[in-house]
Every structure is written in structure tokens, then in C-alpha cells.
């Protein structure tokens, strides 16, 4: 009788093994579910970024206001009859580095 109980216990353990540790186990399902949630969050962030880029493209195609705004903010452009004032903060000095190579024989000052 004792031998029969041991055999049945081994058979039950053998049947339960794939459920807990095998290819389609609960642990693997939980890991895949966690990865799915992460990928959905990542996709949502990328969708928001794509929507913002799409809106920028539409603005650039339809009007000149967006082009002017980009020129002012990113390139530092000003209109022909405008005066540009730059206010420097004493606590945060601006350190500029040359963006173009210095001519031959000249030294760059940093």
C-alpha cells in the first residue's frame, strides 16, 4: 500500500511539472504578461512622440509661422529690422565653443 502511494505521488508530480516549470508554465505566462504591459507602455510613448512629430510636419507644410518659430528658437535667426538683446545671468556664465574650425595659424580660445 505504501508503494502505491509513492507511485501515485510521483505520477502526480510528473503531471504537475509542466504546469509549474515547463514551456507553458504559470511563471512563463506571468513573465510574458509583464513584458506585454511594458511593451504597451513603450508603444504608447512612441505613439505620442509620433503624433507630435506628425503635428510638426503638418504645421511646417501648411504655414510659415512654424518655420519662423523654428528658425528663431533653434537657429537664433532674427528678422531684418529687429534688434536682438541678449541678457546674461551672472550666476550662469555662457561658455561658448567654436563650431567651425579655426583658420590655419589661429588658436581657439576656450
Per-residue pLDDT of the chain (110 residues), as tens digits, is 899 999 999 998 888 887 777 777 888 888 999 999 999 999 999 999 999 999 888 888 887 887 888 888 888 888 888 887 778 888 876 665 555 555 555 554 44
Q: Judge whether 10 lies within some domain.
A: no
Mean pLDDT score across all residues of the chain:
82
CA distances from 81 to 60, 64, 66, 84, 100 (A): 24, 18, 20, 10, 27
- What range defines the domain where residue 30 resides? 24-76
pLDDT of residue 38: 98
pLDDT of residue 110: 43
Q: Judge whether 7 lies within some domain.
A: no
Q: Judge whether 68 lies within some domain.
A: yes
Q: How many domains does the chain have?
A: 1
d(CA 110, CA 98): 8
Q: Judge whether 32 lies within some domain.
A: yes
pTM here is 0.48
Amino acid at each position: 500500500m505504501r508503494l502505491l502511494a509513492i507511485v501515485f505521488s510521483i505520477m502526480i508530480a510528473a503531471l504537475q511539472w509542466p504546469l509549474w516549470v515547463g514551456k507553458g508554465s504559470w511563471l512563463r505566462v506571468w513573465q510574458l504578461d509583464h513584458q506585454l504591459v511594458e511593451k504597451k507602455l513603450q508603444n504608447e510613448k512612441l505613439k505620442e512622440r509620433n503624433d507630435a512629430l506628425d503635428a510638426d510636419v503638418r504645421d511646417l507644410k501648411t504655414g510659415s509661422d512654424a518655420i519662423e518659430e523654428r528658425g528663431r528658437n533653434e537657429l537664433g535667426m532674427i528678422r531684418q529690422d529687429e534688434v536682438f538683446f541678449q541678457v546674461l545671468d551672472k550666476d550662469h556664465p555662457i561658455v561658448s565653443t567654436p563650431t567651425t574650425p579655426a583658420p590655419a595659424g589661429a588658436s581657439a580660445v576656450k
